Amino acid sequence: MSNMKYTEAHEWVRVEGDVAVVGISNYAQEQLGDVVFVELPSVGTDFSQAEQVAVIESVKAASEIYAPVSGEVTEVNEVLDGAPETVNGDSTGDGWLFKMKASDADELDGMMDEAAYQTYVDGLE
């Protein structure tokens, strides 16, 4: 998925038209372990880049999720209310967290592409 960008905090963003789909990386979900609860933002809420947006709780820890870009939340993944483990099964697909209408597309320029993110993760291990 070459159209995905990543943050150092392990969030990913995939731009689909004027919508930014946001989730956590496969590496992040592996580090968290079994996800048991996801607290998602409210639709219509505006966030600035790097502002805390959501929380994911696992059997190991709770982890804050930060907005990879500034914008307004337009949709949340309601499947996660009843099946938070979807994040573990498909973190970059069905396990997406929320969608945003990005207010500054230039913010994506400072994010890592998939190859750069993989290099970054390899350096953590």
pLDDT value, residue 48:
97
Task: Count Cβ neighbours within 10 Å for each residue of 41-68 and write b for 16 or more, e otherwise.
Answer: beeeeebebeeebbebebeeeebebbbb
Between 19 and 2, whose confidence is greater?
Answer: 19
Domain ranges for the chain: 4-103
What CATH class has 4-103? mainly beta
pLDDT, tens only, 102-125? 999 899 999 999 999 999 999 997
Q: Can you give the pTM of this predicted structure?
A: 0.94
pLDDT, tens only, 16-68? 888 999 999 999 999 999 999 999 999 999 999 999 999 999 999 999 999 99
pLDDT, tens only, 61-77? 999 999 999 999 999 99
Structure tokens at 88: 């573990």
